[in-house]
Chains A and B, each alone.
Chain A
């Protein structure tokens, strides 16, 4: 059985963190889709190794961990636009 509490709070926190991913267009280093695919695979492995934390009863994955990983990627996709050229944030 999956519990709603860690899924919702984990997703919300992950989403907030994901919205902050804004790459600098002037930077030489680019993070493409492959970085996020690798992140998702690593997150899946780590969640499996963590086990059904923190409730020890539900699915064999750490559900809060996965919810956060999905939240980060969705937050990046929805709000994480690259900074405009020369933009300095307050």
Chain B
């Protein structure tokens, strides 16, 4: 890749990631949400991987990191759902908003999202979905780049 691209892409990828985070944060009241924001963040990672390559990319996603973040995303979603089941009897009941007035006030306060819309657990669900999508899409590209590198090394060994 050209030197201009190598200088430009790293800061541009960070700005792209910030935009992805903003998309996740506004998911409950504007177009966007966890999946879209996570995909934009993954686009930032992929931008770096394509330009710098797997080895020299400044964003270094290890296998352990990806496994941990993916697990946190999936388990966070499940636990938020189970919390609704425990306190209201409905899976994924929006405890922070409590439409049917069936949960105690202190539980409602715990799950209330501190912003003017008071969207309850929806922003938290967007957050965990964003984590999962970000890592999932990045992992696909990392795997493809890794396979290609492996094939190239194997061809060199055969020669």
Judged by a CB distance under 8 angstroms, whether B59 is at the interface is yes
Do A10 and B21 have beta carbons less than 8 Å apart? yes
Do B62 and A13 have beta carbons less than 8 Å apart? no
Do B113 and A5 have beta carbons less than 8 Å apart? yes
Q: Quick one: which of B10, B26, B60, B131 contacts A22, CB cutoff 8 A?
A: B60
Total cross-chain contacts (CB, 8 A)? 109
Do A13 and B127 have beta carbons less than 8 Å apart? yes
Given the complex, which residues of B lie within 8 Å of A3, measured CB to CB? 114-116
Contacting A at CB under 8 A, from B24-39, are: 24-26, 29-30
Judged by a CB distance under 8 angstroms, whether B90 is at the interface is no
Task: Identify the A interface with B (CB < 8 A).
Answer: 3-6, 9-10, 13-14, 16-17, 20-24, 27, 29, 31, 35, 38-39, 42-43, 46, 50, 53-55, 57, 62, 64-65, 68-69, 72, 83, 89-90
Task: Identify the B interface with A (CB < 8 A).
Answer: 6-7, 10-11, 14-15, 17-19, 21-22, 24-26, 29-30, 41, 52, 55-56, 58-65, 69, 113-117, 123, 127, 130-131
